[in-house]
Amino acid sequence: MIPDLPDNTDSIKGFLSDDEAAALYQRALEVSGQGPVLEIGSYCGKSTIYLGLACRRTDSTVFALDHHRGSEEHQLGEFFHDPDLYDRSEGVMDTFRDFRQNISSAGLNDTVVPVVAGSDAAARHWQTALSMVFIDGGHSLDAALTDYRCWVPHLKRGGILAIHDLFDDPHEGGQAPFAIYRMAQASGLFESLGQVDSLGILRRL
């Protein structure tokens, strides 16, 4: 049971199982007292709420990084395209309106700091050490590698690296998140803490 979880959380658009959500909450609760949490790929804020509730309990902060234009698979004509999130006047995806509304409804405006930018742009002058990095951004290999290379250097020793959408079988999902997960495992920088559904969790040594 997660305290203060909004009743409408299940109805928020997103791709997160209940067990994955609970694991994110628990890991953030464990480490966020040591520094802020960074989420890469917030979409409409479902996972952000779980991270935010944990960080509120430890008086910490979630930096929610997303350009809010959707990943490759969310674009017009793609399999995961959601027409409700498509701005027809601009001809682009726009998830930021829903994100802001969901974070505000959850009472997390003082805990969640939106960073509306691409990963590489946001990281360019970043200097804050992080207690947890949750990678759930673009699923192209280039996007996943950028997220990993930009943000892992900012993760504190003992901090948590969580990577979403891990699938051994290419028929079940894209392989880029799995590739950076294997990269982290092979780096010698992390201890594997196992996998919850498609969420891989590692601890920085």
Q: Token pair of 106, please? A: 């959850």
Q: Token pair of 159, please? A: 């901090």
What strands lie across the sheet with 112-115, from one edge to the other? Answer: 112-115, 62-65, 37-40, 130-135, 155-163, 199-204, 190-196
Q: Token pair of 109, please? A: 């405006």
Burial of 128 (0-12, 13-18, 19+ CB in 10 A): exposed
* Residue 21 CA from chain centroid, whole number: 11
Q: Is 192 left (phi over 0), alpha (psi -120 to 50) or beta?
A: beta
Burial of 161 (0-12, 13-18, 19+ CB in 10 A): buried
Q: 139, 154, 164, 171: which one is catalytic? A: 139
- 68 is an active site residue: no
Q: Token pair of 139, please? A: 């699923």
**Catalytic positions:** 139
